[in-house]
Amino acid sequence: MDFKLILESSYREMLRRYIEDSSEAALYQGQMFSRKSIKQQISPEEIISIHCKVLKDLYPDIREEILASFDFLIEFMMNYGLAYQELQSLRDKQVEIKSEIEVAASIQENLLETPIPKHAEVDIGAISIPAKKINGDFYRFVEDESSISIAIADVIGKGIPAALCMSMIKYAMDNIPKYRDNPNDVLAILNRVVESNLDSSMFITMFYGVYDFIKHSFTYAAAGHEQGFYYNASSQSFEDLKTRGMVLGVEQNITYEQYERKVKSGDIIVLLSDGVTESKTEKGFIERSVITDFIQTYMHLSAQEMVENVYRQIERLQNYEIRDDFTLIIVKRV
């Protein structure tokens, strides 16, 4: 027998019993038929149509206006059902995208993981906190017997494309070891890689430096990256690490200027992304002097404790809502 006929007959009896004596048993039986109706793919509109027909059978004198209202309800429920399905589809897609982003973030973390070097000559601290799941900032250390290479970069763009860009930069860096001691050459090579492989709407800013343990010098170059700071221990003052250079990926053949500084005992090199300098409070962007004041406050601590404390202070200034990826590196000559 057709399930719809069974449902109509049973629905008539359940509705009659409920109207006459508010039967709890009728409600329970209705729950059972609801589950069966779902399995039989009976739509809500069909249930309303059955309800309307049963009412007319039970109450032949029912006003036509009341019955007409159920026609309106059927149309309303059909539109509601379509809208609900669309919403569910969007939610399912959001869950799927969220899952993919979490996987991408985990892969990115594993691919770009770089141990912070431990060395008797320098104390190094680093922190990189993404504003969202995927980090658009990148830093990397490469150490050999006489030096440490330090790279910090920021993709102009976010999300999974940014993560892919950073992976490309990381592997490109790993394949140019013979140029590693010349930051200007490193940036020139990476610029050609980025320009050849990235969409024209994506660019990367980058700072690349080499700390030489033997000469105690810091040689560096930058590609449109945020200026860092240099702390002179003898004068107890900060100054900007001035640089020049076009961002990576704009033109194929670009040369970069290279700079060198002698690093004395107690001197500090501070490298950062614009997520640090462009931290925003209710009063606007923080001054660069606020960052150096925080660094000076925690100068008695280890480099790692310094970067962590500076991050906490800036996070507090922003009401614990980081709006951009935050990366800070401190290199202090012991």
Rounded to 5°, the CA angle 217-218-222 comes to: 160
Written out in words, the top-level CATH class of the domain with range 3-87 is mainly alpha
Contact between 22 and 28 under an 8 Å Cβ cutoff? The reply is no
Superfamily in which the 114-333 domain is placed by CATH: PPM-type phosphatase domain (3.60.40.10)
Q: Give me the residue spans of the domains in the chain.
A: 3-87, 114-333
pLDDT of residue 159: 60
CB 90: neighbour CB atoms within 10 A? 10
User: What's the pLDDT score for residue 123?
Assistant: 94
Q: Are 211 and 122 in contact (CB under 8 A)?
A: yes
Residue 319: the pLDDT is: 78
Q: How many helices (H) and strands (E) does the chain have?
A: 9, 12
pLDDT per residue rounded down to tens, the chain (334 residues): 577 788 888 888 888 888 888 777 777 777 787 888 878 888 888 888 888 888 888 888 888 888 888 888 878 777 777 777 788 888 878 777 677 666 666 665 666 667 788 888 899 999 988 877 666 788 888 888 888 999 998 887 666 666 677 777 777 777 776 667 889 999 998 888 888 776 666 778 899 999 998 899 999 999 989 899 999 999 999 999 988 888 887 888 888 999 999 999 999 999 998 878 877 667 777 888 889 999 999 999 999 999 999 999 988 887 777 777 889 999 999 8
User: 3-87 with 114-333: one CATH topology?
Assistant: no
Sequence-distant (≥ 6) Cβ neighbours of residue 285 within 8 angstroms: 277, 278, 279
Q: Tell me, what's the pLDDT at 25?
A: 79
Strand 259-262, strand 284-285: pairing: unpaired
Helices (H), 244-333: 274-277, 288-297, 303-317
> Token match 């945020």: residue?
226
Predicted pLDDT at 35: 82
203-212, strands of its sheet edge to edge:
137-143, 147-156, 203-212, 217-223, 259-262
